[in-house]
Amino acid sequence: MTRAAELPPVAEQRMFTQAEFDRFGTLSGDRNPIHVDPAFAANTPFGATVAHGMLLFSALRALAARTWPGVALRQQDLMFPAPTYADEPVVLRLDPVAAEDGRSWRVTTRVVKPDGRLGVEGECVLVFPEER
Which distant-in-sequence residues (6+ apart) come within 8 Å of 106 by Cβ? 96, 97, 98, 99, 100, 123, 124, 125
pLDDT at 6: 76
* 72: number of Cβ within 10 Å: 14
Phi/psi class of residue 84: alpha, beta or left (left: φ > 0; alpha: ψ in -120 to 50)? beta
Q: What are the chain's domains?
A: 7-127 (3.10.129.10)
Q: pLDDT (tens digit, 9 = 90+) per residue, 68-116?
A: 999 999 999 999 999 999 999 999 999 999 988 878 999 999 999 999 9
* Cα–Cα dist 45/52, whole Å: 16
> Does pTM surpass 0.85?
yes
What is the DSSP secondary-structure string of 62-121?
HHHHHHSTT-EEEEEEEE--S--BTT-EEEEEEEEEEE-SSSEEEEEEEEE-TTS-EEEE
